[in-house]
Amino acid sequence: METKDEYGNIHEGAMFSKTRLPRHSVPLFVSFIRAKKAKVPVQMLSKKMMLAVMAGFSLTAAQTTTEEYPSAAEIAAAQALVQPYSPVSNVKGKAFSRFVDIWFENIDYATTALDPNFSALAKEGILLSNYWTVTHPSEPNYCASAAGDTFGMDNDDWHQIPANVSTIADLFDDKGVSWGEYQEALPYAGYQGFKYPETGANDYVRKHNPLILFDSVTNDATRLRQIKNFTSFYDDLESKKLPQYSFITPNMTNDAHDTNVTFAGTWVAGFLSDLLKNEYFMDDTLIMLTFDESGNHTHINKVYTILLGGAVPEYLKGTTDDTFYTHYSVIASLSANFHLPSLGRWDCGANILSLVAEKTGYINYDVDTTNLYSNATYPGPLSDNKTSTYTDIWPVPLTKGSCSAGNGIVKVVKETYKGQEATYNYTSPIPYDVVSGNNIGIKYSRTLP
């Protein structure tokens, strides 16, 4: 079944929504699935079982769960019920019309530069030689990529960020730009558990899944089903229903976390091999390969980052861009490219990719990184008092002013925080905090015409 939303986006399987069965219904639902597979006539099923199944299908509202480790029966029930959601849109971008963001783990810039697979891919695109992550460890970087802030996070804990905190999903949905995540080994679309499998070697982990951290996403049945696995990626590729924004997380082996850059390089070369020859996939597509953080917490937090794909002009292939970028630059670039508003956080002042800046006329800042490490973050409510300091105060974003993307602040942020003063100078291209001293003394400037 297909339906269309107000933007004309196609919704597959619209009668299904992400739902969590009541705990007492799960065993009955699993029994129903088994009976169905065994071709047991419906009239032979117990009334109790049928009522439980109908109740499960009637639950249309998503429920954010605090259960870190759902039972095997609950997972099986959800796998049988939940249908991935793959909206399609065709919003023309200034420099690209599809963005695919693929993240790897914990490798220093210099180490990655020596890998033959990553260096070969760089020759097919643009090497970003001055791309910085925003802190350590992993999870706050993933959080930052979705919300433009770390909220003081200095850990890889279980987090559920309140629904009044907006994300890139709000930006995309505001303008009808389709989006999706593809998480390798995710057991079903919208799974909220801490890891999967729950025992044994690492495979899928929640800390590497940006949008699952936010209640504004998990409270929404439709948004949850846009967080999918690799099976859905290949299904969407085959049916030509890839979104205009994708965030791709390989499993803990393929992303180098539990292996090394050689393993990750071999994996990505294989993953992209056919995709780079696929006319549909490559059409006006910009692919970013980057790392969440460097591997050494005492050295600079700069990572090897590549842009490639059909949106990269031939004359730029094999070149290097030394503009200062951070993870926040990706949000700002997406906003500038698709004419989206800002979240009013560190994406507001972030430099935007030169490919996009050349189209919009924006002039990026020069940042003196001589004394920059970017290894810690500022105080916030998600701190464990490891490298930042806990405070119960959630930072307030900008609600007015000019951002690098040039399209103002998203409406939901302006409404939510109306009349409040921004906590930080979010118009800066480099995150800093005067009170804690985080990133203080880093100079930046630009020359306007």
Domains in the chain: boundaries = 2-81, 98-445
- Residue 73: name the closest of 15, 33, 17, 18 by CA: 33
Q: Using one digit for the tens of pLDDT, what is the confidence trace for 80-125?
A: 999 999 999 999 999 999 999 999 999 999 999 999 999 999 999 9
Q: Using one digit for the tens of pLDDT, what is the confidence trace for 346-373?
A: 999 999 999 999 999 999 999 999 999 9
Which pTM does this prediction carry? 0.89
Report CA-CA distances (Å) from 291 to 101, 282, 295, 370: 10, 22, 10, 21
Active-site residue flag, 220: no
CB-CB contact of 133 with 301 (8 Å): yes
Catalytic site residue from 258, 284, 321, 366: 258
CB-CB contact of 249 with 184 (8 Å): yes
**CATH topology (fold) of 98-445:** Alkaline Phosphatase, subunit A (3.40.720)
Place of tokens 């939940």: 82
- Mind listing the pLDDT tens digit of every residue in the chain (449 residues)? 444 544 444 444 433 333 334 434 444 444 444 444 444 444 444 444 444 444 443 333 457 898 999 999 999 999 999 999 999 999 999 999 999 999 999 999 999 999 999 999 999 999 999 999 999 999 999 999 999 999 999 999 999 999 999 999 999 999 999 999 999 999 999 999 999 999 888 999 999 999 999 999 999 999 999 999 999 999 999 999 999 999 999 999 999 999 999 999 999 999 999 999 999 999 999 999 999 999 988 999 999 999 999 999 999 999 999 999 999 999 999 999 999 999 999 999 999 999 999 999 999 999 999 999 999 999 999 999 999 999 999 999 999 999 999 999 999 999 999 999 999 999 999 999 999 999 999 999 999 99
In whole angstroms, what separates CA 301 from the centre of its chain? 20
CB-CB contact of 109 with 62 (8 Å): no
Report CA-CA distances (Å) from 139 to 84, 167, 325: 24, 15, 19
CB-CB contact of 245 with 172 (8 Å): yes
Phi/psi of residue 354, each to 5°? -55, -35
